[in-house]
Structure 1
Amino acid sequence: MRALLVLITAGMLVGAAQAEEDIVLGLNQSEVSISTNFNGSEIIIFGAVKRETPIPDGPELEVVVTVSGPSKPLVVRRKEKKFGIWVNVDAVEVDRAPSFYAVATSAPLREVLNRIEDLRYKISVPRAIRSVGAPMNIMNSAAFTEALIRIRRKENQYQLIEDGVTVDQQTLFRANVQLPAALIEGDYNTRIFLTRGGKVISQYETVIDVRKVGLERWLYNLSREQSLIYGLLSLAIAIAAGWAASAAFALLRR
């Protein structure tokens, strides 16, 4: 009974210690508008650590920030060159992959977060992608996920920004995340984690709303709600553009 009481008390003390540091967060913008001339946006995430006791002794406070776009399933295909042409030979379906994902840390990721915590909170880029299984004929299914990450990193859709969070006096923090031009609409979940010694001691979540506006919004709604009219309008614009180009070329030849 005494051992049990000791364990319970120890657990209560750990919980109390973790609750001593909470996050007070701010964003320079909680909404991003996608217009016809949209070429990306920078999100500034800043905040402070609220404490009711002095800064604990031991490992320094580290901060991890993640921004995740809407997730959806997709198929990753592998191509091989056969008889002089590239053909699809294998395919793996990824159950869920964020359209955009950024991780910013106050130090190298392996130093601020251990593998168990990464597995629990799904913070790193590979952990954010959910791929349950693959066909029996696929020998190395992990290579398909790695290929997806590699491609989206080249497109700046997946980002790992180590040392991208500035922490001042273990109390104030600030991170800049660059959103690329190729964004899709939806809620972009933003998570902030405080860690010590690789373990998460506190977390906070908020949402950045990304929406099309103006002509982009009108065309998007038209394509979804009135597909026939959208198709006819696209055809008319293509014909008009072709006629205008032809007329301009004829004038230049005179």
Structure 2
Amino acid sequence: MRWLIAFLFLASPAFAESVVLGLSQNEIAITTSFDGSEILVFGAVKREAPIPDGPPLEVIVTVAGPDEPVNVRRKAKRFGIWVNTDAVEVDRAPSFYAVATSGNLRDVLSDVEDLRYKVSVPRAIRSVGAPMEITDAASFTEALIRIRKENDLYQLMENHVAVDDQTLFRGRIELPAALTEGAYETRIFLTREGRVISQYETAIEVRKVGLERWLFSLSREQPFLYGLMSLAIAIAAGWGASAAFSLLRN
């Protein structure tokens, strides 16, 4: 038994190379003037042996926002009017998802490993089933990905992670202004020949602060008071605009 344990220890590459990670910030504050942010991911590879010969080390960085179910609807023109026809609920889709790699994704990660770790954008989305009458359910997931890519909520940044001497790495992830509050899971993968040899996970907290946080909490905890306040602001804005217009006319 002892020789078997020793053999497994020596044979596993996870014991030879592991990630030591750093983030430029692990908390992002959303204020009324928030227009996006940028996260610098940097780190090093810790080794218990010299750099192995053969294919170079590759690095993949993923950042995923909170998961949420999404209803995707298909529109069709009926009698000159665009109306909703079919709908599919995607069971789980990250509100934000970014993948940054040191090379082309298909070169640094095999399909088998992608299926196992759910790294690519399509694999990060979970859609179990659809109504029986819908035969092209996959197109709804594709539409969701396309729309969120257009809004910079889903990103694939190949060759955006620099790896120096197979030891140091760094990359940047751009976060758009439209962020959902919550924990953003950050994963680092070390790969060789498309196979994951080490993985590291951490989280970036995204929180509303100041007036933005107060209004959000008020709308959830005291919706009646929030509605009255919104109505009062709308009336005041309307009265102010009317008074300004009257002054201009005179």
The question of a shared fold, defined as TM-score above 0.5 by the shorter chain, is answered with: yes
Residue by residue over 1:78-120, the C-alpha shift from the partner in whole angstroms, topping out at 9 and shown as x without a partner, is 1110100111111111110000000000001000000000000
Match of 1:171 among 162, 167, 178: 167
The two structures have a TM-score, normalised by structure 1, of 0.95
Q: Kindly report which structure 2 residues correspond to 1:39-188, keeping only aligned pairs within 5 A, or say none.
A: 39-188=35-184
Aligned with 1:119: secondary structure?
helix
1:238 equivalent in structure 2: 234
The two structures have a TM-score, normalised by structure 2, of 0.96
Residue by residue over 1:183-237, the C-alpha shift from the partner in whole angstroms, topping out at 9 and shown as x without a partner, is 0110000000000000000000000000000000000000000000000000000
Superposed displacement of residue 7, structure 1: 9.2
- C-alpha distance in 2 between matches for 1:146 and 1:236: 43
- C-alpha distance in 2 between matches for 1:37 and 1:161: 27
Q: Which amino acid aligns with 2:234?
A: A
- C-alpha distance in 1 between matches for 2:68 and 2:239: 40
Residue by residue over 1:125-144, the C-alpha shift from the partner in whole angstroms, topping out at 9 and shown as x without a partner, is 00000001111111111100
**Count, aligned residues:** 249
Give the superposed CA RMSD: 1.5
In the alignment, structure 2 segments of 5+ residues that lack a partner are none
Residue by residue over 1:44-67, the C-alpha shift from the partner in whole angstroms, topping out at 9 and shown as x without a partner, is 010000112110111100000000
Superposed displacement of residue 74, structure 1: 1.4
Identity of matched residues, %? 70
- C-alpha distance in 1 between matches for 2:6 and 2:139: 46
Q: Which amino acid aligns with 2:11?
A: V
1:229 equivalent in structure 2: 225
- C-alpha distance in 1 between matches for 2:208 and 2:219: 13
Superposed displacement of residue 253, structure 1: 1.3
- C-alpha distance in 2 between matches for 1:14 and 1:133: 40
Aligned with 1:24: secondary structure?
strand
- C-alpha distance in 2 between matches for 1:92 and 1:109: 29
- C-alpha distance in 2 between matches for 1:157 and 1:202: 27
The answer (yes or no) to whether the contact 2:15–2:48 under 8 Å persists in 1 is no
Stretches of 4+ moved more than 2 A in 1? 6-14
- C-alpha distance in 2 between matches for 1:234 and 1:36: 17
Superposed displacement of residue 249, structure 1: 1.2
